[in-house]
Amino acid sequence: MDGLQNYLELSADIPGWTRGVEAQALVRFCSAQPDDAVIVEIGAFFGSGSVLLGGACKVKNSGQVHCVDPFDGSGDPVSVRHYEAIIMAYAGKTQRERFDGNIRRAGLSEWVHAHQGTAVEVAEHWNTPVDLLFLDGDQSPDGARLAYEAWSPWLKVGGILALHNSDPRDYEMGHDGHYQLTQTVVVEPHYEILELNGTTTYARKRR
């Protein structure tokens, strides 16, 4: 766990939303992917989750991480005010510069690749089957559904879907998009629900 612990600590130093047991679970699922796995993170912000995923690939010496984000602080209205506060606190560089710098400092530039644009925009040019899909972009019901519809066809049968913010709880209005996915489309028999870890649901695509 030594190498992985290093990336858990680097990730925790970057403003982000995947912490503690959730960070450990994301690393665990990423590490368990087959050789040369294709990992996609929708919604990367400053790269905190990306460092977890890229670090797991680097320790294993296999796999590539693709991070999709407009890098402009946009998203659902509930989230945007949190993004704006962080971006202002880290003024002086663009969000993309923060992301690139964090990935470079973590020594992960060969493992993590940014695709600037929304989930739907980037999916229009995507052409590679995906082993692990981490959905953590627009959290609104419409935004989450659009990202899911654009990317889930690329998830391999047997591949893992990770849905952040999808545990059953009271959500602010318009912020329960991933939870709604677990109640509508990410369900048996299409998916095998593997575990709920913190707020993140892990499900294996069955068909």
Binding residues for ligand SAM, rule: CB under 6 A, are: 16-18, 41-45, 48-49, 68-70, 73-75, 83, 118-119, 136-138, 143, 147
Name 195's Cβ contacts closer than 8 Å, sequence gap at least 6. 25, 201, 202
Q: Which residue lies nearest ligand SAM, judged by its C-beta?
A: 49
Alpha-carbon distance of 144 to 182, in angstroms, equals 11
Q: Which is nearer to ligand SAM, 68 or 108 (CB)?
A: 68
Reported residue count of the chain is 207
CA distances from 7 to 17, 99, 103, 174 (A): 15, 15, 11, 32
Q: Which is nearer to ligand SAM, 35 or 64 (CB)?
A: 64
Least distance in angstroms from the C-beta of 158 to ligand SAM: 23
CA distances from 108 to 46, 115, 161 (A): 14, 15, 23
Least distance in angstroms from the C-beta of 119 to ligand SAM: 4
Least distance in angstroms from the C-beta of 156 to ligand SAM: 21
**In what helix (H) or strand (E) does residue 122 lie, and over which residues does it extend?**
helix 119-123
Least distance in angstroms from the C-beta of 109 to ligand SAM: 18
Q: Which is nearer to ligand SAM, 5 or 158 (CB)?
A: 5
- Collapsing DSSP to helix, strand or coil, 124 comes out as coil
Q: Which is nearer to ligand SAM, 157 or 165 (CB)?
A: 165
Q: Which is nearer to ligand SAM, 92 or 189 (CB)?
A: 92
Least distance in angstroms from the C-beta of 121 to ligand SAM: 8
For helices 2-12 and 48-60, the axis angle rounded to 10 degrees is 170
